[in-house]
Structure 1
Amino acid sequence: MAVPREQRTVFGEVADAYERSRADYPAALLDLIAGYATRTPAEVVEAGAGTGKGSALLRRLDVPLTCVEPDPAMAALLARRFTGDDLVSVVVGRFEDWRPPPGGVDLVASAQAWHWVDHTRRTDMAAEALAPGGVLAIFGHDYGFADVGLRTAMDAVYQRYAPEIADLPGRPVHTRHPGAFDPQELRTAPGFTDVTHERVVTVVPYDTARYLTLLSTFSPHRMLPEAQRTRLHVALADLVDTHGGVVAHELTTWLWLARRRGPAAADRS
């Protein structure tokens, strides 16, 4: 009997496609994190690092970066990406099982992955991993559509070929999962203060082929039976081709920041 696939573990099936098609993070995001932190962190840990889209941004801080990734295939690609980089270490495992160094770290970050961390204790774990005054940064992309007409036409295709995920076009990625991030978690968490929200909006064009590759990396698509997914993607490809062969994604990169309660790290003795 085949072992049921877990939705959180399907990304390794398409790790290379994920790396090629998922959007990078804008440099402005790092400026927002650094401005909030007010100083360069001494050490950073990233929960659910994937193939390193967020890691590449965080690496620009030029400090030790620990990338925790549970999927072995994703972690292997991540390790190759940073081969020979002494500041980056890759830990294959769940953030839930990772143990922070004594005294904690100054920055815990998660790029498009916080919804996969156990939502019943992730805020507490982040607080425990941070030094007093340390920063939690949760960020990711929402793939919206610049062309409302194309979005409407796509909805119809989903309704016909995959009604169980028919609300996917334009629906924020981080709201599709049981562990969807709710900012109220941070606002009411006893271990955090100074909760704030930022966003950066860009328009990213995807030609038909790259758009289909992108869709193949979204977990709801991956969970469809292969034949059904193929029919859906063929229909979507035909639709995009009739609209000029390009999907203009209005990419909203959202960022939530919170500070670990306690004296600033510089004041620790």
Structure 2
Amino acid sequence: MPTLPQEQALPPRPEPHQARQVAESFGADANRYDRARPRYPDALVDRIVAASPGLDVLDVGCGTGIEARQFQSAGCTVLGVDPDARMAEFARRSGVAVEVATFEDWNPAGRVFDAVVAGQAWHWVDPVAGAAKAARVLRPGGLLAVFAHVFEPPSGVADAFAVAYRRVVPDSPFTVRPTTNGVDLYQAMFAKFAEGIREAGGFGEPEQWRFDWEQSYTRDEWLDLLPTTGGLTRLPPDELTQVLEEVGAALDKIGGGFTMPYTTLALAATRKHAT
């Protein structure tokens, strides 16, 4: 899941959807993941529901069910698909029906949906095969909507993370502190998503949406979120502690908290009607 700018410049090989160890590492602490990860803007959920022909939603890479529960609250019936049995079990306990599989290998068994959504997850799916699968399981006029958060903490906090991460994990495949801003990096990623949708066929021209919002974090809340990000989910406890201690010290220097500006980007494409 892309959440931190430090994670956005992934290595050219393997492609994100091929990095299965990272893709399936988030369930190591599903409780923390669900507690710490940010929710999605209500305006995004409402727009997806309004643009769909009905209320049957398939949530790809549903994780612990964060966005699934938001769609349920909006009146939708949601089925989740996730490759991590630990995440799926948490989602089930929260009231979300989940089937364990990668989306590419998942068997829809003849079921069709009004919307296929993916929050912080489409980069773990083959962009062409995933779009083709979505086209097969969507009703005519159904919506494919993939979305992700873009955010960057204050420079002192981000710099402390980068220094600690380089020292503790010098051979990491993740690039830290890119020179390109987060939104531009995500725009490039979403352009690849759009290319995959066009190549798969069956959809109208993809449309991008943007939602800007803010969320405040205390020191403890930010340190609770960091271990749920892809660069840290597989760190040994002692190395994780070192990174968190340095970030915590940086947070103490700026008063123990901050307000994060978020941008949530979404790419939406409508399933064409049969001709």
The bucket for the TM-score relative to the shorter chain is: 0.7 to 0.9
Deviation at 1:104, TM superposition (A): 2.2
Report Cα offsets for 1:188-246 as digits up to 9, x if no partner. 44211131111111111121112112110112212334332221111111111111111
Contact 1:110–1:139 (CA<8 Å) still a contact in 2? yes
CA root-mean-square deviation: 2.8
The residue identity in structure 1 corresponding to 2:135 is A
The residue identity in structure 1 corresponding to 2:90 is L
- Distance in 1 (CA, whole Å) between partners of 2:168 and 2:118 is 33
The residue identity in structure 2 corresponding to 1:51 is T
Greater relative contact order (Cα < 8 A, sep 6+): 2
Q: Cα 1:203–1:42, aligned 2, differ >3 Å: closer, same or farther?
A: closer
Deviation at 1:69, TM superposition (A): 1.9
Unpaired stretches in structure 2, ≥5 consecutive residues: 1-19
- Distance in 1 (CA, whole Å) between partners of 2:98 and 2:111 is 20
Greater C-alpha Rg: 1
Contact 1:202–1:250 (CA<8 Å) still a contact in 2? yes
Contact 1:115–1:179 (CA<8 Å) still a contact in 2? no
- 1:243 alignment counterpart: 254
The residue identity in structure 2 corresponding to 1:167 is V
- 1:27 alignment counterpart: 42
Deviation at 1:159, TM superposition (A): 3.9
Contact 2:129–2:200 (CA<8 Å) still a contact in 1? no
Q: Give the TM-score normalised by the residue count of structure 2.
A: 0.80
Contact 1:114–1:181 (CA<8 Å) still a contact in 2? no
Q: Cα 1:192–1:180, aligned 2, differ >3 Å: closer, same or farther?
A: closer
Equivalent in 218, 227, 234 of residue 245 of structure 2: 234
Deviation at 1:121, TM superposition (A): 1.0
- 1:126 alignment counterpart: 134
- Distance in 1 (CA, whole Å) between partners of 2:133 and 2:71 is 20
Q: Cα 1:101–1:95, aligned 2, differ >3 Å: closer, same or farther?
A: same
- 2:195 alignment counterpart: 184
- 2:230 alignment counterpart: 219
Report Cα offsets for 1:76-115 as digits up to 9, x if no partner. 1111111xxxxx5222222223233537211111111111
Contact 1:69–1:91 (CA<8 Å) still a contact in 2? yes
Deviation at 1:157, TM superposition (A): 4.0
- Distance in 2 (CA, whole Å) between partners of 1:10 and 1:103 is 29
Report Cα offsets for 1:13-68 as digits up to 9, x if no partner. 1100001100011111122213433x4x1421111111111102211342321111
- 1:49 alignment counterpart: 62
Deviation at 1:152, TM superposition (A): 4.3
Contact 1:133–1:263 (CA<8 Å) still a contact in 2? no
Equivalent in 3, 6, 9 of residue 24 of structure 2: 9
The residue identity in structure 2 corresponding to 1:113 is A
SS in 2 for 1:49: coil
Contact 1:201–1:252 (CA<8 Å) still a contact in 2? yes
- Distance in 2 (CA, whole Å) between partners of 1:242 and 1:50 is 34
Deviation at 1:153, TM superposition (A): 4.9
- 2:4 alignment counterpart: none
Q: Cα 1:168–1:113, aligned 2, differ >3 Å: closer, same or farther?
A: farther
Contact 1:198–1:255 (CA<8 Å) still a contact in 2? yes
- 1:98 alignment counterpart: 106
Q: Cα 1:202–1:162, aligned 2, differ >3 Å: closer, same or farther?
A: farther
- 1:167 alignment counterpart: 176
Contact 1:30–1:58 (CA<8 Å) still a contact in 2? yes
- Distance in 1 (CA, whole Å) between partners of 2:263 and 2:250 is 24
Do structure 1's residue 71 and structure 2's residue 84 form an aligned pair?
A: yes
SS in 2 for 1:251: strand
The residue identity in structure 2 corresponding to 1:24 is R
Q: Give the TM-score normalised by the residue count of structure 1.
A: 0.81
Unpaired stretches in structure 1, ≥5 consecutive residues: 83-87, 265-269
Equivalent positions of 1:250-265 (< 5 A) are 250-263=261-274
